[in-house]
Amino acid sequence: MSTTQGKRIVFTGGSGKAGRHVIPELLKRGHKVLNLDLNPLPNPDVFTLKTDLTDSGQVFNALTTHFNFGGFDDGQVPQPPDVVIHFAAYARVMLVPDNETWRGNVTSTYNVIEAASKLGVPKIVIASSETVYGVCFAEGADVDYEHFPLTEDDDVNPMDTYALSKVTGERVARGFSRRFGGSDIYALRIGNVVEPHEYAQDFPSHVGKPETRRRNAWSYIDARDLGQICDLCIQKDGLGFQIFNATNDTITTTVPTKDFLTKTAPNTKITREMGEWEAPLSNKKIKDVLGFKEEHNWRQYYTP
């Protein structure tokens, strides 16, 4: 659990797949949360302010509003939050036409980062994606990863509009951090998000048909562990702009990592010695820099 004093957090997209599990983890750690979303969040402890994040005026206004009706009793006008966590987005390609994916994701991310930066919010965390590594929605079934393990220092050159919108968000974050004197803006390259009920529902195909998991580099992130990662980002100050892979520790196969990758991805070079069951999408940086220790390994919930 967090050892820091609870923060006032504005969370965008908290009603989505990841957010509805991340927010309870933040509440458990003593934080207060206001959810900005177009859809309600079924959590009585969190107020949802219906906000169109592609409208800059709405974003500035939402970042200076009360967290609930109780705020009107405090006798103080609302102040900007301590933290902004931006998860709201079209979650993949082919939900809407590509140009709308671009417009919605890029514009909302720009608006949130600009408003939070200009309002003096000291910590911004944004959701990037594993898709930036260029295979998930690539054109053609034979596109290979550059190498394993995949790390935050890799050059990324995806083809699809969703991943390109996420790369653009990272660049916006980097630029605003530089503009505002090295302010803390952390981008999480989030892996395939797994909700608690999905271990029983989906992991038989994850593990039993590993060829279907190539898009995700045979890696994943438990939605609750993603909440822990967000809290660790809140605790760690002074890093400026950073990118972190947000994934759990282990590969989702019954064959050890090196043996599996050598057989399944023979054209992809392995650049260093990897742990026996290490995930190809490496989380070494969040462990070394933020102190991440996974709490929800998939083998706790599913036995192949």
Distances (CA, A) of 85 to 109, 138, 278, 288: 11, 28, 28, 22
pLDDT, position 3: 47
Summarize the confidence of residues 260-282 as an average pLDDT.
Answer: 97
* Residue 2 belongs to a domain: no
Summarize the confidence of residues 43-47 as an average pLDDT.
Answer: 96
* Residue 70 belongs to a domain: yes
* Residue 1 belongs to a domain: no
* Residue 303 belongs to a domain: no
pLDDT band at 235 (very low <50, low <70, confident <90, very high): very high
pLDDT, position 38: 98
Summarize the confidence of residues 111-126 as an average pLDDT.
Answer: 98
pLDDT band at 4 (very low <50, low <70, confident <90, very high): low
> Is residue 201 scored above 60 in pLDDT?
yes
pLDDT, position 2: 46
pLDDT, position 141: 82
pLDDT, position 75: 86
pLDDT, position 205: 87
* Residue 231 belongs to a domain: yes
> Is residue 20 scored above 80 in pLDDT?
yes
Domain that holds residue 215: 8-298
> Is residue 114 scored above 90 in pLDDT?
yes
Average model confidence (pLDDT) across the chain = 96
* Residue 292 belongs to a domain: yes
Percent of the chain predicted with pLDDT > 70: 99
CATH code where residue 257 lies: 3.40.50.720
* Residue 304 belongs to a domain: no
If one counts the domains in the chain, the total is 1
Percent of the chain predicted with pLDDT > 90: 94
pLDDT band at 142 (very low <50, low <70, confident <90, very high): confident
